[in-house]
Structure 1
């Protein structure tokens, strides 16, 4: 089969690799029907995730069809259409038994495209397949489901829920890329009074406003001043960091009010400064985290019912064989306007 292979920082190739096979009773092999590229993949290519070895097939989000099942599976069968989650869950360890699948101790967590070969390929082996995939029906399209493999549950769990967003809050999302836009979509479920976005791209600001943001802040002016203007001088209740740079994290800490919450969602490859000499007295809560995907079933229900509209997330579509071109478009979002790309087999 062909797959997108990480060859070391700055290098990737779409090339032939061996087909995956069932290696354990709980495994399934899935034919990839639709797949996407994540900002985390770009971080890997930049060298920000040194735990990814050269030769690894990238990707951790896909919708596909089961083609082979291990002897230990009872609820999955060949021909099932499934969402392959970005998080793999053994279902048995202490963390999995409390819904903290991202911290799985039994061989799961974020392993696809990280510790084992991932989904940017024609076929993918999924360990612990019964607890790491979601059966799909016709109420949710491939593209809709694909948005629930990572960015929607990540933004919802690590941003909105961990940030303790409540009705009437003032929420500022720093970064209006795919994760930031997903944070806007899911923060709206809690009816914040202010839902502002910050991004250097006016195109992304416009997309966020169409998705339900109430304000787009001017990155050329003091963000603290603008946030205070919107909040009666207090600052934001919640700041959601959705970029992954030292400057954006430090900005989030600066713009929240005393008693506020900073929810860091971005993947960081460099240290950020926390000014405790200034902020120890402000009663701040700062959270970080890896998505658990425990909310994926609820999000699937919301998409199927029309309560959550993810149509704005996909901006570019490609054939799977054009994945190198898709990477160029996705990584140059400032020029192309790309949010999420969808690559389909035989598109």
Structure 2
């Protein structure tokens, strides 16, 4: 672990790939991993934009990685040095009430979303993983690092917070606002439930083309066609059964509220840093259900099984690849998808 480096948050708009202390076991339930593949999340951009004030300057960012176990604390069961693992974006103590209910994102025992948020994350050469036996998943040989890293966050987030919270059913009309990685993963996850229509809205034509490749039936350029007119025409004047917000802005949330049918569901997935107006004067009479959520990652084993069984095709999600030391240009590419066409970027050794 000589010349250890990581991507350090220096406050809003400030990041650097710089030398940092080597990670070390701090608790018997910790493990230290060598980071073999890691990616950047839209949430990291929200942190850099100042939308997540709990993240302090000096924090190493990142919560999605595949790595090799280097060392484990004395309280870690089931992991040994040399194991290849997926490091989950959510850490779970396994003891508190929420963990016992499978709601790991709300862990009261020091877990939840802490990596790259409240403790140093995984955008580094090596990383400390708290609650390692419950917050990592051993990977089968046939699953590549690149596919596995997409199960750290975006697939379980879209599946749990979008599809399951939105109660997608066969024959539904589903509209997804935002065709970034989360929105595209929501297309993949929604298709598992055989909806009649999947409609995707985004301002970037390249991302709408990607949405079609992932299985969207209809795409709408934001600022072009009136999405409400398109949805009403598709559904005989009713609107969407499920509207998923996958951006995290007031405008996109309010758009979802305007597209959902009476008795429909709005599933908010995006990370919000500003207030959104809830138009109860329109919604109170329409029996609309609104859900929010932080991913719990209870679905990760099931998604991993589907990946092994070739039921999830993630081959088109990664558009850019970089060496591990090229985090600064990788962030530049990921943060400007309209220009670069970036979906997910992966950095690896």
For Structure 1 versus Structure 2, the TM-score category normalised by the shorter chain is over 0.9
1:217-240 CA deviation, whole Å, 9 max, x = no partner?
Answer: 242121111110111110000000
Look up the match of 1:254. Answer: 258
Aligned partner (choices 107, 110, 122) of residue 110 of structure 2: 107
1:271-295 CA deviation, whole Å, 9 max, x = no partner?
Answer: 0001111210000000000000000
Look up the match of 1:147. Answer: 150
- The more displaced of 118-127 and 212-221 is 212-221
* Runs of 4+ off more than 6 Å: none
TM-score, structure 1 length as denominator? Answer: 0.99
Residues in 2 aligned to 1:105 and 1:266: alpha-carbon distance in whole angstroms: 23
1:183-209 CA deviation, whole Å, 9 max, x = no partner?
Answer: 000000000000010011111111110
Q: Does 1:282 align with 2:286?
A: yes
- Structure 1 unmatched ranges of 5 or more: none
CA-CA distance at 1:25 after TM superposition: 0.7
Residues in 1 aligned to 2:59 and 2:102: alpha-carbon distance in whole angstroms: 28
Q: Does 1:225 align with 2:229?
A: yes
Aligned partner (choices 96, 101, 120) of residue 99 of structure 2: 96
Look up the match of 1:175. Answer: 178
Look up the match of 1:125. Answer: 128
Residues in 1 aligned to 2:266 and 2:317: alpha-carbon distance in whole angstroms: 24
Aligned partner (choices 2, 16, 20) of residue 5 of structure 2: 2
- The more displaced of 313-322 and 217-226 is 217-226
Look up the match of 2:319. Answer: 315
Residues in 1 aligned to 2:47 and 2:76: alpha-carbon distance in whole angstroms: 32
Residues in 2 aligned to 1:306 and 1:76: alpha-carbon distance in whole angstroms: 26
Q: Does 1:326 align with 2:330?
A: yes
Residues in 1 aligned to 2:281 and 2:208: alpha-carbon distance in whole angstroms: 34
- Where 1:68 maps in the other structure, the secondary structure is strand
1:207-246 equivalences under 5 Å are 207-219=210-222, 220-246=224-250
- Where 2:7 maps in the other structure, the secondary structure is strand
Pairwise CA RMSD: 0.6
- Structure 2 unmatched ranges of 5 or more: none
- Where 1:338 maps in the other structure, the secondary structure is coil
TM-score, structure 2 length as denominator? Answer: 0.98
Does structure 1 retain, via aligned residues, the 8 Å contact 2:59–2:120? yes
Look up the match of 1:60. Answer: 63
Residues in 1 aligned to 2:121 and 2:221: alpha-carbon distance in whole angstroms: 38
Residues in 1 aligned to 2:225 and 2:200: alpha-carbon distance in whole angstroms: 14
Does structure 1 retain, via aligned residues, the 8 Å contact 2:204–2:221? no
Aligned partner (choices 282, 289, 296) of residue 292 of structure 1: 296
